[in-house]
Amino acid sequence: MSTIEEIKQILSDNLQLGNKVMSYKADTVLLGGIPEFDSMAVVGVITAIEDNFGIIVDDDEIDADTFQTIGSLVEFVESKL
Amino acid sequence: MPHLEPFFIRGYKGYLFCQCTHPNKKQPNKSVLILPPFAEEMNKSRRMLSQQAWRLAEQGYTVYMFDLYGTGDSAGEISDASWEIWCGDISCIIQKMLYDGFISSSILALRMGALLLEAVFESTELEIDRVVLWQPTINGEVLLHQFFRLKLAADMIGTAGGQMNAKEIKKVLASGNSVEIAGYYINPMIENSIRSAKLENIIFPQFIKIDWFELFAAEERSISAASQKVIDKFKDAGMNISSSKIVGPSFWSTVELVDVPDLLDTTTRLFT
């Protein structure tokens, strides 16, 4: 599974988006674009990313830019691998 | 068919809400005690744990699930809770199980519940034969870090005032004040206890069987290095431990309630 596919799976799992994520692309807007993406969801997604990829996300790295789009989130995760 | 019995018992500091799932035919030596996760995670997990309790009751087990002091439907406020109270609550539940005629039990612990095993093993009256761990918290500090992020994330999205990261939250707690996170008032005492709790420091009884489950979004992922270290340590200590991964969502933190049938099936099979 590529990073973007795995991130989409994590989003689908955490936000119960089901098959909707199939149509998501790198430029799909997360913050402000997906109504389910609230603070609980952000934390769930970060934790799932840490557990899945075995990386640690620093608090300073959690900002709105990282969660702007799927692409920005993928870029962030890949920079940590 | 199993049946549910909700009741309150006197806990360490206040009344505890318990939910007992009884099998059709009670077998006096078969019981399971569920150790709950932390704060909001229990809210999200109640459905999965109830389903598991029901499935185990179908196998003839009496399953005890309860809310810790200051959480769920138990008495008190989490702002007044402490690790000592929670461990005391577990002793009270164990006393109830002994009173009900059980001399041995298995444990199902989810997330922070694994760290509460410390209190279970302190009781020498109830013999524990098997421990099932669902995504156990191996380090209380990591659990708190994840929890504190709720505040950071809320600030980022702009649903809450002020900017507070984990460092700043820790500073407030260190000065002796409580912090409100996602509606939970965390006091410095409990923060300190959870922070210092480590799964690897818990002394498990000899010959106990441990089944460790972790959930992943994708098949190709493997158990984290941090978890593997603890598993290896337990193995080296001669413990009978096996670890497995299940593909499914982190049901204790998802936005909507979600089931992980694979985890329920696999866990049920351990008890058949």
Q: B126-159: per-residue pLDDT in tens?
A: 999 999 999 999 999 989 988 888 888 877 777 5
Whether A29 contacts chain B with CB within 8 A: no
Whether B255 contacts chain A with CB within 8 A: yes
Does the predicted interface ipTM exceed a cut of 0.85?
A: no
Q: Return the closest-CA partner of residue B61 out of B18, B99, B26, B96.
A: B26
Total Cβ atoms within 10 A of residue B85: 19
Q: How far is A52 from chain B (nearest CA, A)?
A: 6
**In chain B, which among 211-230 make CB contacts under 8 A with chain A?**
214, 216-218, 220-221, 224-225
CB B236 within 8 A of CB B267: no
Judge whether residue B8 has pLDDT over 90. yes
CB B193 within 8 A of CB B82: yes
The DSSP element (H or E) to which B106 belongs, if any, is strand B104-110
Task: Report percent pLDDT > 70 for chain B.
Answer: 97
Burial class of B183 by CB neighbour count within 10 A (0 to 12, 13 to 18, 19+) = exposed
| Predicted model pTM | 0.89
CB contact under 8 A, A41 and B255: yes
Burial class of B261 by CB neighbour count within 10 A (0 to 12, 13 to 18, 19+) = exposed
Burial class of A77 by CB neighbour count within 10 A (0 to 12, 13 to 18, 19+) = buried
| Average pLDDT, integer, range B32-49 | 96
| Average pLDDT, integer, range B213-223 | 83
Residue A33: C-alpha distances to residues A15, B151, B156 (Å)? 13, 21, 15
Judge whether residue B17 has pLDDT over 80. yes
| Predicted pLDDT at B163 | 60
| Predicted pLDDT at B193 | 96
Q: What are phi and psi of B97, to 5 degrees?
A: -65, -40
| Predicted pLDDT at A35 | 85
Q: What are phi and psi of B57, to 5 degrees?
A: -65, -35
Indicate the average pLDDT of chain B.
Answer: 92
Q: What residues of B are in contact with residue A30 (Cβ under 8 Å)?
A: none
CB contact under 8 A, A44 and B250: yes
Judge whether residue B160 has pLDDT over 60. no
CB contact under 8 A, B165 and A59: yes
CB-based contacts of B144: which residues, under 8 Å, 6+ apart?
B166, B191, B194, B195
Instruction: Give the residue from chain A lying closest to B248, CA to CA.
Output: A13
CB B109 within 8 A of CB B131: yes
Rounded distance between C-alpha atoms, residue B161 and residue B178, angstroms: 17
How many residues are present in chain B?
A: 272
| Predicted pLDDT at B161 | 52
